[in-house]
Copies of this chain bind each other. A is one copy, B any other.
């Protein structure tokens, strides 16, 4: 039987436009990867009557109802109370959840207030989705032919709870096994991928192939449905190989979280250390490296040389280079990367210098012009980019290219020698 899922997001802040319903997008992608069709998204405010009406409607047209939000103490656990009522479930105190809440607040050095304990009142007979990323536990239960899953609203919590708690629960409902494999690409845009693979994508039914654009990168998702995981895997494998052959070094990994995680693994495998010198990216490269647990095995540190003088005093970029070519230039990017290697005492160092905006620099270099460099024992390589006028995006793109230089170097792929 094919399931129909409906997402119900609860929160007046969504209706006021204070926040966007990013949970809806994340869950839609995830459910789609599980082979579960999503037919409706609904957003209602923190209002019991309207939430109740939305649930009653959902019961008539969907057999998987997933709610987000309305679980914290500030909304009096609205969602849980209304859902319990709609499905005739009693709420009873779960001691394990109460202990988790105590432990969470203790770890934050705060004391538990009485309303925090309300979160431990859960529908009888439900499956508790333990929340290791916040305080409100998630809940799943079955009522007749309908499956209900309640997740917390904050996007970070919602994503972790979905991936680690809801997916294993929902997988039992899928008829057959769905397996996805995600190829991560760097160095090609979504429309180019689309154009390149349009025929294959249209012709394929199992597995299917779909591209997703994400932060200046493209993800290609291969999804197969079969009776067993092994069968699904054997449907995916040849398509994966074919795509890798066709796309070559554009593919930087399969089922990997990010470019920097691939770089970190490769550095660790080769026992090499890494550092960075950042101007326009302003700490983003270092931040992304240190977002990864275990980064300290390879990452020694970075210098954010935002002011021109710091490029000279800390990184040792010669003053005449800065004067002759300006801070945003090929020679300065090169000298920054070389300086970082020396100052930080690491095997490889990258640099980024560019015009993040809002205005062109004093030499008239346009917003979005960026140089990234990699310095290694056997040479230094520079890439010049035009990353466009949106500050956040141009910084992300610059960091991506810096990591891509390292990835290609470590894979022995050709880099323009300079």
Contacts and interface: CB of A to CB of B under 8 A. Distances in A.
Contact of A307 (B15, B41, B300, B390): B300
A27 interface: yes
A213 B20 contact: no
A20 B24 contact: yes
A303 interface: yes
Nearest to A399: B287
A72 B195 contact: no
Interface residues of A, number: 105
A239 B300 CA distance: 50
A395 B293 CA distance: 12
Interface stretch (A42-50, A137-145, A249-257, A371-379): A42-50
A213 B136 CA distance: 13
A403 to B, nearest CB: 14
Contact of A41 (B14, B309, B392): B14
Given A16-B32, A57-B57, A210-B12, A156 B291 contact: no
Contacts of A192: 110, 113
Contact of A45 (B13, B39, B211, B344): B39
A221 B54 CA distance: 26
Interface string A15-39: 1111111101111111110000111
Contact of A356 (B28, B42, B290, B392): B290
A304 interface: yes
Q: Is the interface of A mostly helix, strand, loop or mixed?
A: mixed
A107 B306 contact: no
A194 to B, nearest CB: 5
B296 A306 contact: yes
Interface in A344-391: 344-345, 356-358, 368, 385-391
Nearest to A22: B20
A303 B189 CA distance: 34
Interface of A: 9, 12-22, 24-32, 37-45, 47, 50, 54, 57, 72-74, 104, 107-110, 113, 115-116, 133, 154, 156, 180, 189-192, 194-195, 210-213, 221, 276, 278, 281-287, 289-291, 293-296, 299-307, 309-310, 313-314, 343-345, 356-358, 368, 385-392, 395
